[in-house]
Amino acid sequence: MIKKCLFPAAGYGTRFLPATKTTPKEMLPIINKPLIQYGVEEAMEAGIFNMAIVTGRGKRSLEDYFDINYELEHQLKGTSKENLLKDIRNVLETCSFSYTRQMEMKGLGHAILVGESLVGNEPFAVILSDDLCDNEGGQGVLSQMCKIYAKYRCSIVAVEEVALEEVSKYGVIAGRKIDEDVFVVDNMIEKPSQEEAPSNLAIIGRYILTPDIFEILHRTKPGKNGEIQITDALLEQCKKGMVLGYKFKGVRYDCGSVDGFVKATNIFYDKLKR
Ligand code: G1P
């Protein structure tokens, strides 16, 4: 039902400078796999095979990564190392990739709007690949959200409870529970102070959006930090119709921060050794 997944990937990744001076943050690996590949595999697990990536200057390695490297394939063919390319080959054989560039960094809402030409007039998923989700053997977060979409047919944001001291890092929702772990959103605020926060349910980097979001984004004025915020556009959508918050099953690592990145690395390494 959801056929496309949009990956906003134009950000500078300043928290990982100087590494991100020439390497996109989406290409930083947890063990041996770039962050964005975890996101792509989560979309595949949800039955989505068209990946639309919003890139920016200095991000060409993303396009090269999702392509065949003939020289490498040739070198490894028939050797014991051939197996190391198995996962990425599977991605390339099953998925299509399209790209567009965000020329100016005007916020997540703007990045999503730039993706309009790739997405068209259909509902779509959004993955922010620095939020790495581990389903711990269960269904992936996007897969869980697609199920909810099939029932309610409206925009959905994935949420998790965070400590009050953390709310100012996120979009935060207030909602009324209508189903197990499902809330009808009645308010959402981008990066509120503790006093302003309507709850401690923070939005994480997984969205399903209905295409009317584009028309709203075209009109959305810069909000928090002077950026066009997807949270503001979603608030308008929820006033006109319905937006859901879904408390997903699984664990999220904020790999956009050094702490979260190291934590994910350690946990994924332990799993490998188990
Ligand atoms: C963005 C969104 C925010 C959301 C967060 C999840 O913020 O604007 O609402 O909670 O992603 O990772 P950013 O982390 O890009 O500042």
pLDDT band at 258 (very low <50, low <70, confident <90, very high): very high
Ligand 1 contact via 228 beta carbon (within 6 Å): no
Q: Give the pLDDT of residue 224.
A: 96
Instruction: Check if 231 has its Cβ closer than 6 Å to any atom of ligand 1.
Output: yes
Q: pLDDT for 104-120, tens place per residue?
A: 999 999 999 999 999 99
* Ligand 1 neighbourhood includes 108 CB (under 6 angstroms): yes
Q: Could you tell me the distance, in angstroms and rounded to a whole number, from the CA of residue 146 to the centre of ligand 1?
A: 21
Give 80's DSSP letter.
G
pLDDT at 38 over 80: yes
**Which long-range contacts does 252-256 make (Cβ < 8 Å, 24+ apart)?**
252/131, 252/132, 252/133, 252/134, 252/141, 252/160, 252/204, 253/131, 253/132, 253/133, 253/134, 254/130, 254/131, 255/28, 255/30, 255/35, 255/130, 255/131, 255/132, 256/13, 256/15, 256/25, 256/130, 256/131
- Hey, what domains does the chain have and what are their CATH numbers? 4-273 (3.90.550.10)
pLDDT at 269: 96
What would the pLDDT profile of 56-104 be if each residue is shown by its tens digit?
Answer: 988 999 999 999 998 998 999 899 898 888 889 899 999 999 999 999 9
Check if 134 has its Cβ closer than 6 Å to any atom of ligand 1. no
CA of 184 to the centre of ligand 1 (A): 20
pTM of the model: 0.96
